């Protein structure tokens, strides 16, 4: 019996997906709830799961093709269907087009980059030993072969030339390669929204710096007890989430958005946290962050980060934020100007912590300092409100006990 594998609903306002990588080939055995393909939407990657045990039959949509929600993309043969147990044939929907080149030993699957490297070096596929999965010939195999060939050539005495007879050096073989890769729907969406943000709002950035001494001391003093009670470490992000929520209560315009000719102010705080995922930067949202404790924030962020690396975040987890926090410091960024994610009105940028000399009570001391950057939509937020908000965040981080006392 054949079961149609259809594109499932992938989130509000998403009507189509792009077929990503087929994880199973035609004729391959598939277990119930086992992923057979990745579906790429403009917000997240979704696994297409097999509803029953069986064998993947005909694939109807190739990698890179667009499919609407509800479209049939493949057939699953169940109940001892013909073809079960047969060797899996090469799927016609491989993530990259592969070329079979004949050699003396039979067919060699040549990857696109390797094909270009062969052409540059004037070689045939059969001249190079393939080491890739399934006998695939990789670009690295070709470069390794050409390098070893150079090493095997005997050294020759260079000919004596006059300055007028010196020829231009030959172009290096096997270098300056290019590879064109189609942008994923997520990357295309990120690109589009960043450009829209720059074009559609009056965006400004204000800066400040914060002394991290008290937060670092508090973490050190209570880290063991926190781990013992909650089973996870307390990081800096939870302090900033709590500080941002408190500052937003005093500066509600940064938690607002423009709708038509109106400004909508919210009395809830859905804080987006920028995380580097497997396919790019994603911003999952902490819903009702004002109700979350430190452990709740840390647990949620840890879960988001883990699932972001395997592209398992759900589309609904990436929408609806009211304010965003981005921590470029984890990558070593000293200072940056983050871009607001429309229709939000603000984004806070955290940066790396550095030991720097600062003046305190007339004396120069060394303190762990972090630059903060607040980008905001000047159509909604005045400069005074932006500076006041950032100063409030700074004060809460430098005196974290205030967050517990709500003062």
**Which one, of 306, 268, 313, lies nearest residue 287 by Cα?**
268
Q: Among 44, 39, 45, which Cα is nearest to 5's?
A: 39
In a shared domain, residues 111 and 212: no
Q: What is the pLDDT of residue 131?
A: 74
Inside any domain, residue 142: yes
In a domain, 341, yes or no: yes
Q: Give kind and range of the element (H or E) at residue 402.
A: helix 401-405
CB 328 within 8 A of CB 336: yes
pLDDT band at 368 (very low <50, low <70, confident <90, very high): very high
pLDDT at residue 21 in the model:
84
Active-site annotation holder among 33, 222, 303, 378: 378
Question: Per the domain annotation, does 42 fall within a domain?
Answer: yes
Least confident of 17-31, 165-179, 188-202: 165-179
Given a contact cutoff of 8 angstroms between Cβ atoms, the answer to whether 245 and 266 are in contact is no
Q: How far is CA 110 from the centre of its chain?
A: 29
Is residue 122 over pLDDT 70?
A: yes
**Per the domain annotation, does 378 fall within a domain?**
yes
Residues 122, 27, single domain; the answer is no
For the chain, what is the mean pLDDT?
Answer: 83
pLDDT of 386 > 90? The answer is yes
Average pLDDT over residues 101-117: 62
Q: Is residue 159 part of a domain?
A: no
**Of 50, 77, 104, which residue constitutes the final position of a domain?**
77
Least confident of 131-135, 198-202, 207-211: 131-135
Structure-model confidence comparison of residues 305 and 99, the more confident one: 305
Do 192 and 178 share a structural domain? no
382 has catalytic annotation: yes
Q: Which pLDDT value is given to residue 317?
A: 92
What pLDDT score does 398 carry?
Answer: 96
Question: Both 228 and 326 in a single domain?
Answer: yes
- Same structural domain for residues 138 and 234? no
Quote the pLDDT of residue 314. 85
The CATH number assigned to the domain holding 59 equals 2.40.50.100
Pick the catalytic residue: 151, 260, 382, 392?
A: 382
Looking at the structure, tell me whether residues 377 and 259 fall in a common domain: yes
**Together in a domain, 208 and 338:** yes
Contact status, residue 46 vs residue 102, Cβ threshold 8 Å:
no
Q: Is residue 90 one of the residues assigned to a domain?
A: no
Closest CA to 346 of 379, 299, 311: 379
Statement to judge: residues 246 and 377 lie in one domain: yes
Q: What are phi and psi of 83, to 5 degrees?
A: 100, -15
pLDDT at 102: 43
Which tens digit of pLDDT belongs to each residue from 50-74? 999 999 988 998 888 888 888 999 9
282-321 pLDDT, tens digit each: 899 999 999 999 999 999 999 999 998 887 888 889 888 9
Of the candidates 224, 336, 344, the residue with the CA atom closest to the CA atom of residue 273? 344
Segment 149-174, tens digit of pLDDT: 655 555 554 444 444 445 555 555 56
In a domain, 157, yes or no: no
Does the residue 326 lie in any domain?
yes
Q: Does the annotation count 120 as an active-site position? A: no
What percentage of the chain exceeds 70 in pLDDT? 83
Give the domain range for residue 136.
96-150+173-182
Residue 311: per-residue pLDDT: 79
- Residues 367 and 276 reside in one and the same domain: yes
Q: What is the pLDDT of residues 227-236, one digit of tens each?
A: 999 999 999 9
Instruction: Return the higher-pLDDT residue of 146 and 338.
Output: 338
* Claim to verify: residue 102 and residue 63 sit in the same structural domain: no
Say yes or no: 312 and 228 in one domain. yes
φ/ψ of residue 73, rounded to 5 = -110, -15
Task: Decide which of 242 and 184 is more confident.
Answer: 242
The average pLDDT across 37-53 equals 84
Domain final residue, candidates 137, 164, 182: 182
Total domain count, the chain = 3
Domain co-membership, 361 together with 287? yes
């Amino acid at each position: 019996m054949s079961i149609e594998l259809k594109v499932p609903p992938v989130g509000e306002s998403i009507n189509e997906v792009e077929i990503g990588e087929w994880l199973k080939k035609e004729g391959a055995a598939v277990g119930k709830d086992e992923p057979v393909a990745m579906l790429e939407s403009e917000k997240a990657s979704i696994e297409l799961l097999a509803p029953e045990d069986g064998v993947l039959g005909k694939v109807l949509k190739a990698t890179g093709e667009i499919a609407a929600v509800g479209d049939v993309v493949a057939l699953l043969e169940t109940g001892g269907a013909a073809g079960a147990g047969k060797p899996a044939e090469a799927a016609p929907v491989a993530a990259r087009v592969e070329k079979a080149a004949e050699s003396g030993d039979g067919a060699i699957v040549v990857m696109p980059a390797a094909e270009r490297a062969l052409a540059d070096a004037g070689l045939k596929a059969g001249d190079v030993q393939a080491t890739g999965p399934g006998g695939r010939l990789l670009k690295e195999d070709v470069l390794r072969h050409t390098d070893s060939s150079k090493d095997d050539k005997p050294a020759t005495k260079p000919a004596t030339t006059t300055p007028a007879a010196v020829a231009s050096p030959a172009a290096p073989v096997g270098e300056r390669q290019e590879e064109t890769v189609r942008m994923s729907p997520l990357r295309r969406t990120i690109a589009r929204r960043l450009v829209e943000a720059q074009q559609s709002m009056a965006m400004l950035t204000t800066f400040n710096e914060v002394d991290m001494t008290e937060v670092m001391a508090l973490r050190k003093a209570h880290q063991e007890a926190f781990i013992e009670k909650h089973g996870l470490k307390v990081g800096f992000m939870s302090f900033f989430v709590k500080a941002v929520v408190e500052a937003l209560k005093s500066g509600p315009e940064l938690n607002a958005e423009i709708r038509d000719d109106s400004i909508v102010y919210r009395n809830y705080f859905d804080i987006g946290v920028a995380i580097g995922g497997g396919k790019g930067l994603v911003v999952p949202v902490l819903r009702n962050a004002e109700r979350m404790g430190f452990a709740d924030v840390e647990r949620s962020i840890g879960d988001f980060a883990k699932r972001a690396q395997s592209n398992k975040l759900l589309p609904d987890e990436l929408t609806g934020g009211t304010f965003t926090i981005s921590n470029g410091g984890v990558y070593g960024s000293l200072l940056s100007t983050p871009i607001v994610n429309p229709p939000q009105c603000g984004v806070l940028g955290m940066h790396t912590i550095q030991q720097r000399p600062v003046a305190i009570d007339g004396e120069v001391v060394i303190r762990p300092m972090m630059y903060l950057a607040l980008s905001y939509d000047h159509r909604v937020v005045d400069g005074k409100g932006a500076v006041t908000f950032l100063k409030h965040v700074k004060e809460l981080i430098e005196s974290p006990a205030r967050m517990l006392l709500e003062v």
